[in-house]
Amino acid sequence: MIRPIVRDVFFLGQKSKEAAPQDAALGRDLQDTLRANRDRCVGMAANMIGVGKRAIIVSIGPADVVMFNPVLLAKDAPYEAEEGCLSLDGTRKTMRFQNIEIEYRDAAWKKRRQKYSGWIAQIIQHEMDHLEGIII
């Protein structure tokens, strides 16, 4: 289901709660909502669609990958980036890392561990910030 984008900074500023296997429908809602906003969005967190659960979706090449309960395990090569957000107007400067390693549960609730770099790593970090209530 396509959900409206939340722009309430009070809601977005709250930490998200752990997702559980019964939150699988949330992954489908993230996919539908990202698809509907593809022209201006490459990833989103569950709180951006009004759900305070630890789930994100990221466009990785031709695939949209849903990640439940992502955890940052390693990071290196910091740099300054300027980012926009579907939930906010304008762009803001922020610190990101060129290379990251994360662990998460996929849509089938299988544990995954993956390294990312560059643009995709930046998107993942932005969405994971949302889960912590960090708004750029």
Active site residues: 127
Could you give the C-alpha distances from 117 to 40, 76, 105, 107, in angstroms and in order?
21, 10, 19, 22
Other beta carbons less than 10 A from residue 6's beta carbon: 17
- In angstroms, the CA 79 to CA 61 distance is 23
